[in-house]
Structure 1
Amino acid sequence: MKVVAECYPCLQKLVRQAAELATGEMPARERAVAAGLKVLEDNFSLDRVSIVIAGKLHETVKKKAGNPDPYRAMKQQEIAMAREIYSELAPTPGGDFRACLEFAALGNSIDFFRPLEEVKADMGRRVEFVIDDSAAFASRLPRAGRILYLADNAGECFFDLPLVKYLEQFAPVTYAVKEEPVQNDLTRADLEEAGLASAFRRVITTGSATPGIDMEQASEEFMEEFGRADLVVAKGMGYYESLSELPPQGRIFYCLMAKCPPVAASLGVPLRSFVAMLR
């Protein structure tokens, strides 16, 4: 998905947010913001993919602020809240497909900055997919030999687990996390902190530190796994923004909430719609 003009102020906000989280020292923060905004100005073009630009912004802010993981505290909060929600509300791992899929999608919708009780209340709402290819995806499972599951935010690992266990009844599932910290995306270290490192049978990294996936930076291991997978579950907007640039393959299953107007417009759905789309 290419950027649109509406993405520019959002990316400016991203620079300021990352810098604020990266350091409390105002001179360092101001340098990080200035450097990030300059990178944005130099790289913003309507023929560029949004996540590639965002990756450059995060890299710049981290270096200028001297903090390799600005979102660490946020991720710890996400993990703690998600663990509690999982213990109370999760469907049986490996149980009903629809329940597991809806739980995974709910994980992508959560705003972990809100009070825990409000988040729990939201978990009781019904997930209605505006685009719903879940039946087509499920019909492909008996013939799948390998499944690749692309993880999104740190707290979502708890919401992914029941669906991953369901998928493992049909084929080996490889769970892909980020190589290094970027935004609040899940890394191997975050997975270990959540206590779920051994819950997923095979974990690899993308080899890069960009939101979604920049294929030019991805590791050989990831590219091999991506190429060999019969089905790819792609959680979150970042993977839609990046993988939608590829020709339709009929094997990528996007599971997300469309949280921003450009993504919603690209998908052709109302803002904050749930999507379960096979392309």
Structure 2
Amino acid sequence: MGCGIIKSSYECAACILRQVKEVIDLSCSDEKLKFELMSDCINIMAKDFRDSQPNGLATVVNQYVKEKTGCEDPYSKQKEVSSEIALSLMPKVKEILKADDGLETYVKAAIVGNILDFGAYDVNTDFKALITNNLNENLSINDIEEFENALNSHDEVLYLVDNAGEIVFDRLLIEKMKEYDVNVVVAVISSPIVNDACMKEAVDAGLDELAYIITMGCDSGGIVEEMFSDDFRKVFDESRFIVSKGMANYEGLTEMDLDGKDVFSLLCSKCSPISRNLAIEVGSFVLKKL
């Protein structure tokens, strides 16, 4: 079971507005338009904030900015930098995996990649140092036995990726999972939002060499059930084993009926609301069966 449905806390407003300011700055240079966009986003949030779900509300205001500015991919440069950072760290990560090639080590490698998140951090964050300092972090929630049992019990897994750059680390875990004779289906968003991975980033990372890649039919930040395409809804409903990366996907999954599914959330907790929900410290690594 999960830890309860996640609704927006008072802290979520400040976090979403910080991220909105960043996407506005990256999307346009017209100061008048910037003011209008921020004013509109504040009004959208004020209307829906009380009963909102964090990643759903963040998705709505990001989609609004994209529609009004016509800037399809404001984080394109940041996504390229994320991939460069991830690739530069691969030698260190592979040294760790060479010393211990157990499943848990690969899980931790995938989770450390979840630090590469411009939604949670700002564009000036030293991600390389942050990841390097956490390469040997242990799991605060560790459902590794259940995870390995699921790998031994199913012949297919739906893998919900999160951020560009991060998926370079996901590739390592997917390679390890395939040793359990499971087919892997990777789900990406259909068009850009913040620095989340789309089809291009997944292919660039070589995930198409290991898995069948599909899109969710939307540009949501993490799982937002009402935005699924019909095709993705069918895949999701029929999937009995799901691996979910990141906080936004975790938030969305807590809203859904997951009965009968083996669902595992892999994330680095980067905010207080998620950390409170999971009863862990900010910065903790999590492998949790929902």
- The TM-score, its normalising length taken from structure 2, stands at 0.87
Alignment partners' CA distance in 1, 2:161 and 2:170: 8
Tell me, yes or no, if structure 1 residue 133 matches structure 2 residue 143: yes
* Paired position in structure 1 for 2:3: none
Q: Compute the displacement of 1:233 (Å).
A: 0.5
The share of aligned pairs that are identical, in percent, is 25
* Paired position in structure 1 for 2:84: 80
Alignment partners' CA distance in 1, 2:32 and 2:248: 31
* Paired position in structure 2 for 1:218: 228
Q: Which amino acid aligns with 2:289?
A: L
* Paired position in structure 2 for 1:237: 247
* Paired position in structure 2 for 1:68: 72
Contact 2:85 2:128 in 1 (8 A): no
Superposition RMSD in Å: 2.0
Equivalent residues in 2 for 1:259-270, closer than 5 Å: 259-270=270-281
- Size of the aligned set, in residue pairs, is 274
Contact 1:12 1:40 in 2 (8 A): no
* Paired position in structure 2 for 1:160: 170
* Paired position in structure 2 for 1:198: 208
Alignment partners' CA distance in 2, 1:4 and 1:22: 27
Cα distance, 1:96–1:199 mapped onto 2, change above 3 Å: farther
Tell me, yes or no, if structure 1 residue 39 matches structure 2 residue 44: yes
Q: Which amino acid aligns with 1:261?
A: S
Tell me, yes or no, if structure 1 residue 10 matches structure 2 residue 21: no
Tell me, yes or no, if structure 1 residue 109 matches structure 2 residue 115: yes
Alignment partners' CA distance in 2, 1:51 and 1:119: 24
Q: Compute the displacement of 1:232 (Å).
A: 0.5
Question: For 1:104-131, what per-residue CA distance to the aligned partner results, in whole angstroms no more than 9, with x for missing partners?
Answer: 011012468445762463254x221111
* Mean Cα deviation higher: 153-162 or 107-116: 107-116
Contact 1:35 1:61 in 2 (8 A): no
Alignment partners' CA distance in 2, 1:129 and 1:116: 20
Tell me, yes or no, if structure 1 residue 209 matches structure 2 residue 219: yes
Contact 1:258 1:275 in 2 (8 A): yes
Q: Which amino acid aligns with 1:233?
A: V
From 48, 52, 55, the equivalent of 1:51 is 55
Alignment partners' CA distance in 2, 1:32 and 1:116: 29
Alignment partners' CA distance in 1, 2:147 and 2:127: 33
Alignment partners' CA distance in 2, 1:89 and 1:15: 33
Q: Which amino acid aligns with 1:55?
A: T
- The TM-score, its normalising length taken from structure 1, stands at 0.91
Tell me, yes or no, if structure 1 residue 258 matches structure 2 residue 258: no
